Amino acid sequence: MKKVIDLRSDTLTLPPKEMLETILTAKLGDDVWREDPTVQELEALAAKKLGKQAGLLVTSGTQGNLVSEMTHLNKGEGIILEEESHIYLYEAGGIASIVGALPYLIKGENGLMDVKDIEAILSRPYNVHFADPKLVCIENTHNRGGGRVIPKSNMDEIAKMAHEYDVPVHIDGARLFNASVALNISPAKLVEHADSIQICLSKGLACPIGSIIVGTEEFIEKARKNRKRVGGGMRQAGVIAAPGIYALTHMIDRLKEDHKHAKMIEKVLKEKEDIIVKPVDTNIVIIDLSKSEWSAETLSKELEKQGILVTQMGTKLIRFVTHFNINREDIENVIKTISEVF
Ligand SMILES: Cc1ncc(COP(=O)(O)O)c(C=O)c1O
C-alpha cells in the first residue's frame, strides 16, 4: 500500500524506539512531591541548554505559555504580542479567560515585530484609562509566519527596550531549536536576554508529550504553583521526562534535515507562477493561493487523493510541515506530485 505522507504538522511525529525505551529504565518518583529524579534531570538539562537558572516540565506548549503568563502578569494587565501569534490565535483564549490579560496586538511581517511598535505601547505615560502593559511575547520560530526565524538582533532589541520599561519578555519557543539550528547559534545565546522561554518536546523533537519552561529560580518557583493551579502537577512524570532527555540530546541536530526537505518543497512550489510561497527558513512551508484558481480546500483534497496530507490555514493558505517521520524518498514523491497535480 502507498505510504501516506503526512505533512500536516510536526506534532504528528511518532517517537523512535530508542526514545520509548528510555521510559522502561527511568527512575521514577512523585514529582508533585519533587521526588522524580528523571524530571529533575530533564529540567536541569533544559535550563542549562537555554542558559537559565531553572526549568519546569509542563504538559504542553499551551500550558507552558499559560503558566508563564500567569506568573508574569496580574489580572487586568496588558500583554504585547504579534497579531498572528499562537498564543493569541490558538490557545483557546487562555490569556483572556484564565490570565485575565488585555492583548495589545502588533502587526508583524510574517511574525517579525518592529521594536518601534512595541515601544509605542510601552512608552505611553501612565494613564488611569489604560491596562498597564507588563509582558512582551515573541514567537520563534513563528508558525503562521511560515516557520520564520526571528533573528537574534530583533529579539535582543525588543528585550533591551522592554527591560528599560521594567517589562519582561517571554519566548514562545515551541520550535526554538529549529531557529537555533537555522541560525547556527546556541539556544542559550539566542535567548540570552529573554526572561522566560517555553520549548516543546512534542514537535520536531518527536516526543509523545511535554514542554518545558525555563527562567530564574524565583520565576520557576512561582510557576510551579501556577502549574498546580491549572492541573499540571504530575506524579511519576519521569515517563515523560525520559524521552525528553533523549530528545534534547539526540534530536536537535537532525532538525537540519527537516529544513533541507522544506527547502526542496519550496523550490518546486516557487516554479508555479500563480502561487506565492512565504520565505522558508525552517521546516514549515506556507503557500498563498490568492492568485490561483485553487482554494485551500480543493488543493488539499487533490493532494490527499495522491496520498499527501497538508493543513489548510485559511481559505487560500496551505501549510506543509516536514518532520522526523518524513524521509528523502517521501519528499521526492511530494515534489513529483506537486509537479504533476498543479
Ligand atoms: C508556536 C506554537 N506555540 C505553542 C504551541 C502549543 O503547543 P501544544 O500543542 O503542545 O499546546 C504550538 C502548537 O502547535 C505552536 O505552534
Q: What's the 129 CA to ligand 1 centre distance in angstroms?
A: 33
Residue 304, all three cell numbers: 490527499
Quick one: how far is CA 228 from the chain centroid? 22
Residue 264, all three cell numbers: 526542496
**Residue 191 scores a pLDDT above 80:** yes
Q: Can you tell me the mean pLDDT for 330-342?
A: 94
Could you read off the pLDDT of 199-218 as tens digits, one per residue?
A: 999 999 999 999 999 999 99
Residue 62 CB–ligand 1 contact under 6 Å = yes
The structure's pTM equals: 0.97
pLDDT for position 3 = 87
Residue 11 DSSP class = G
Residue 11 CB–ligand 1 contact under 6 Å = yes
**What share of the chain in percent tops pLDDT 70?**
100
Looking at the CA of residue 200, tell me the nearest atom of ligand 1: 10
**Residue 9 scores a pLDDT above 90:** yes
CA atoms of 222 and 194, how far apart (whole Å) = 17
Residue 311 CB–ligand 1 contact under 6 Å = no
Q: What are phi and psi of 36, to 5 degrees?
A: -105, 105
Could you read off the pLDDT of 242-281 as tens digits, one per residue?
A: 999 999 999 999 999 999 999 999 999 999 999 999 999 9
**Residue 1 scores a pLDDT above 80:** no
**Which residue is closest in CA terms to ligand 1's atom 8?**
61
**Which residue is closest in CA terms to ligand 1's atom 7?**
61
Could you read off the pLDDT of 129-180 as tens digits, one per residue?
A: 999 999 999 999 999 999 999 999 999 999 999 999 999 999 999 999 999 9
pLDDT for position 67 = 98
CA atoms of 131 and 95, how far apart (whole Å) = 14
Which domains are present in the chain?
17-250 (3.40.640.10), 254-341 (3.90.1150.10)
Q: What is Dmax (Cα atoms) for the chain? A: 66
Looking at the CA of residue 65, tell me the nearest atom of ligand 1: 4
Report which of 96, 86, 31 is spatially closest to residue 61, judged by C-alpha positions.
86
Q: Can you tell me the mean pLDDT for 182-211?
A: 98
Q: What's the 260 CA to ligand 1 centre distance in angstroms?
A: 22
Sequential DSSP letters for 243-289: HHHHHHHHSSTTHHHHHHHHHHHHHHHHT-TT-EE---SSSEEEEE-
Sequential DSSP letters for 157-226: HHHHHHHHTT--EEEEETTHHHHHHHHT--HHHHTTT-SEEEEESSSTT--SS-EEEEE-HHHHHHHHHH
Residue 54 CB–ligand 1 contact under 6 Å = no
CA atoms of 77 and 134, how far apart (whole Å) = 6
Residue 82 CB–ligand 1 contact under 6 Å = no
